[in-house]
Structure 1
């Protein structure tokens, strides 16, 4: 089964992407990486004798892989075309999960740091316009109180 998975993965990779890497991971799955599209696909034996579990996910900044966002069980006897169609559907679902959401008006000035983010280590927070206005007002109040103290006493 593992030799058949490897052969199927090689054919599938050639259909899906021009640039790809095919390898076996620690758990015995065959993984196809498309670095240029930041996506991966894995093929593993499923519960049935002639079935494979196809999973798809994203490749994060730095080259690590995000957990699978979508998966499907496909008969191994199905042709490369049907398997490629299933993979394209799973990749589209993974891309839909990766699409950034538009910030709501209440969040527009804040960085979106809830949950785990692959970019949180690299990303710097920037102050929004309203934060600068508040800093300027506080500085003005401090300057005014210092001025009134020096004049009054």
Structure 2
């Protein structure tokens, strides 16, 4: 799988960018780095047969890499052109999220386009107490008040 992943990454690198750096990490992940566009793509083996986890992220000032902004699981059985399309979509999401004032595109459902399956996690809102939580708190306080009133009425 490692040799196939490196070969696939090399072909994808040629399709994506003229200038690129290709390297393999200790974990078996193959990274395609496009320094001139300040983006990176990584391909990691998954538990599934002929499946690969594709992640995209930015390269920060100084050459360090930021965590992945988008990811998808794709099949290696689809053509290289379709894998390149998945990579381009992830890179576009990464670029859209990095522009000042730009909003990330909405994540809608699971996409089967180009043999890819989204693995995004649901967005979590801010840490605040919701309406349902307040209603539960008020109900508990009401029951406590009724109990205290009943106990003090019997004295």
| TM-score, with structure 2 as normaliser | 0.64
| TM-score, with structure 1 as normaliser | 0.65
Cα separation, 1, equivalents of 2:37 and 2:20: 10
> Which residue is 1:20 aligned to?
20
> Which residue is 2:100 aligned to?
100
- Give the superposition deviation at 1:47: 2.3
> Which residue is 2:61 aligned to?
61
Secondary structure of the structure 2 residue equivalent to 1:89? helix
Structure 2, gaps ≥5 residues long: 103-155
Backbone CA RMSD of aligned residues = 1.0
Q: Give CA deviations for 1:11-43 in whole Å, capped at 9, x if unaligned.
A: 000000000000001322000000000000000
Number of residue pairs matched by the alignment: 102
Q: Which has the larger radius of gyration?
A: 1
> Which residue is 1:129 aligned to?
none
The runs of at least 4 consecutive aligned structure 1 residues that moved more than 6 Å come to none
> Which residue is 2:139 aligned to?
none
Aligned pairs (5 A) from 1:7-86: 7-86=7-86
Structure 1, gaps ≥5 residues long: 103-153
Contact 2:43 2:52 in 1 (8 A): yes
